[in-house]
Every structure is written in structure tokens, then in C-alpha cells.
Chains A and B, each alone.
Chain A
Amino acid sequence: NAGVTQTPKFQVLKTGQSMTLQCAQDMNHEYMSWYRQDPGMGLRLIHYSVGAGITDQGEVPNGYNVSRSTTEDFPLRLLSAAPSQTSVYFCASSPPANAHEQYFGPGTRLTVT
């Protein structure tokens, strides 16, 4: 199993550009989520999904969209990037039997100039 994979590892965007951060898992996990991590602020939940076709907002959803068309994939879209979205983004997944035990991807470091 590859676990949770994220692409790209690094990305630089200009203000106003859009892009999609990819997240995939091959563990048949129902629960997937996106976090951003900023210095001194820990991880903050952006969006999450409890299964294909179901998504919901977390603590900081503004400026981000998600979709969950398959169990494996959970992409995060930035519609119009802003410097405030400069951060490290982590995707995580967890199995239905133990939804609390999240497996994190390696992260994507995004810089918006």
C-alpha cells in the first residue's frame, strides 16, 4: 500500500491563480480530510468527507472547494489563490472501524506570491 499520497510536494502560485492539490489513498478509507498547518497555529481543518459523494466544511473552509467522487481521491481546489493561503497542506484518511486514527500524507508546501 502506498498509504496517503499528495501531489505536488511544492507549489508556487501567483495571487489570483487557481490550482488543485491532489490527495489519494489506497486503504479503502471512508473518512478523508484536508488540513492546513501554519506556524504557531497547529493544524486547522479545511474540509472533510465521510464517504464518496459527501463533503462538509471544517474550521477554515473559505477559499477552498472539495469533491469526493471516489473513495480513493479527495482533491482540494483553490479557486483564486491569496497570500493568506500560503501554508503547508496535509491530507489525512482514516478507516471506518477506527475513524479517529488518521493517517496523514506527506504534505504540500504552497506559497502564494
Chain B
Amino acid sequence: EDKVVQSPLSLVVHEGDTVTLNCSYEVTNFRSLLWYKQEKKAPTFLFMLTSSGIEKKSGRLSSILDKKELFSILNITATQTGDSAIYLCAVESANDMRFGAGTRLTVKP
């Protein structure tokens, strides 16, 4: 059965720290891996990854995919309190979109 596992489930850091969030997956007919940020309500799209080894970057956030080892990481450098959120990883396959449980990140001032 397809599954997406994120770790850690929760993380508390201080402003300025760098964090790495993990997402591993087992799906058939992999198409893409996506990262979302969910604050109070709806998730918002961050990145889509389809190829191994190519880093996607947006400001202090970056992500990379390893299709051989079936995982992705999301890095956030110089964290700010506004980065506090649940970060969701999702894997798209031929007929499904499977989400992980999310990592709840809390950034303290």
C-alpha cells in the first residue's frame, strides 16, 4: 500500500536555527513529490519535485528529492517565527495523491 511518512512529527527551534524536515515514501507509479505549508487553514504550495538531485529553492527554503532512496528533504535556513506551521509532504502517483501526516514546526523568538 502506498504510504508517505514524515519526520519528525513536531519540532521546536529558535529563530535563526536551520531545520531539515524529512519525507520518505513508497508509492507505485511515482509522478511527483510536493511540499505544502499549512498555517491556520488551507495548505499553500511550496515546491514540486520530479527529478532526483535537482534542488528547488525559494528564499530561505529549499528542497531536494532522491528517487533512488525514496525520500525528500525540506530545508529552512535562518528560521523566523513566521515559519511556524505544519509542513506537508505529498506524493502524486498515477491515480492518487497521498499526504504524509505533516511536521509541526514551531519557531520561538
Contacts and interface: CB of A to CB of B under 8 A. Distances in A.
Interface string A28-52: 0000010100001111110010000
A44 B101 CA distance: 10
A42 B6 CA distance: 10
B41 A43 contact: no
Nearest to B1: A59
A103 B34 CA distance: 13
B97 A42 contact: no
Contacts of A56: 95
Given A43-B99, A59-B98, A101 B48 contact: yes
Interface residues of A, number: 22
A43 B9 CA distance: 15
A106 B99 CA distance: 18
A74 interface: no
- Tell me if A's interface is mostly helix, strand, loop or mixed: strand
- Interface size on B, as a range, is 20 to 34
B45 A45 contact: no
Interface string A81-113: 000000000100000000011111111000000
A59 B91 CA distance: 13
A40 B43 CA distance: 15
Nearest to A88: B41
Given A40-B101, A45-B96, A101-B48, 15 more contacts: A35-B99, A40-B9, A42-B100, A42-B101, A42-B102, A45-B98, A48-B97, A56-B95, A58-B96, A59-B98, A90-B43, A100-B48, A102-B43, A107-B41, A107-B42
